[in-house]
Structure 1
Amino acid sequence: MKFKVLILLAVAFAGCSRKASTDQNCIKYADVYVTEVQKTATNNPSVSFQVNSGCGQFNKFIQKSEGNTRIIKVQAVYKGCMCTMDMPIRTTTYTFTEKTPGTYYLKFLSEENKYIIDTVVIK
């Protein structure tokens, strides 16, 4: 009887320590496509994007400047080993910080080599 209890305790403790190390390995990053961009009064558009599981959340914008054009990708983070299999749409705000007067084009990657373009005029 004591032997069975010891084996059961060993399995339980091994399972706990294994889970802790696995959770640290269950973080992934991926670029995702923008599905919609909505203008706002503050020149900081609302950006919607689709993630590949219920664990997906916004991580950051990856931006490249070419003159007055900003090419913008969304990077999602997936935290968790067990995720729902849905593909939800998430929304975040892109903060446009340019202060120099001019017309700016925000190109959000929506498909491979396709963009949703928003125009911002700074006076």
Structure 2
Amino acid sequence: MKLKVIALALVVASGFASCSNDNDQPQMATKKAFISAVTGPTAGVVNQELALIVAYDVENKCGVFNKFSETTTENTKEIEVETNLEGTDCGTAPVTKTTTYKFKSSVAGTYIFKFKKSATEFITQTIVISSAT
């Protein structure tokens, strides 16, 4: 009888342990996506927000924008798109999606944006910011 009680306690305890909330969270895979096109203004004035439309390629329809990853050196930024894979029934066909990259500077100057097109190539967008008059 004592052995049956111990066995039952072990089974119940292992059942509770396998039902932890860690497994209830959906798993998301973060990936870098290459940028296929950038459109938008090439000039602006100090403290004016400019919007660039960025087209990026994801591996299937479950790829969604997460954030921009940036590396800045003086007035040059290298920019990548980071995506998450969310959902089910994603298909296998690549999809092009768009998002907006916003830029505003409080200092006049020439700014160079290098959007990552492939492992070694970039789409370069130059924006000249002038003083407000």
TM-score (norm 2): 0.70
Q: Which of 93, 97, 104 matches 1:97?
A: 104
Task: Give the drift of 1:76.
Answer: 0.7
**In 1, distance between residues paired with 2:71 and 2:22?**
36
Which residue of the partner structure matches residue 92 of structure 2?
85
1:61-120 Cα shifts (integer Å, max 9, x gaps): 001110110110100111124422221100001011222100000000001121000011
Identity of aligned residues (%): 30
Counterpart secondary structure, 1:111: coil
Q: Which of 101, 105, 118 matches 1:111?
A: 118
Aligned partners of 1:27 and 1:77 also within 8 Å: yes
Name the Cα RMSD after superposition.
2.2
Q: Aligned AA for 1:49?
A: Y
Runs of 4 or more, structure 1, over 2 Å off, are 20-26, 40-43
Distance change >3 Å, CA 23–CA 38, structure 1 → 2: farther
Structure 1 residue ranges without an equivalent (≥5): 1-17
Structure 2 residue ranges without an equivalent (≥5): 1-18, 43-48
**In 1, distance between residues paired with 2:110 and 2:41?**
16
Q: How many residues matched? A: 105
**In 2, distance between residues paired with 1:88 and 1:21?**
31
Which residue of the partner structure matches residue 74 of structure 1?
81
Which residue of the partner structure matches residue 24 of structure 1?
25
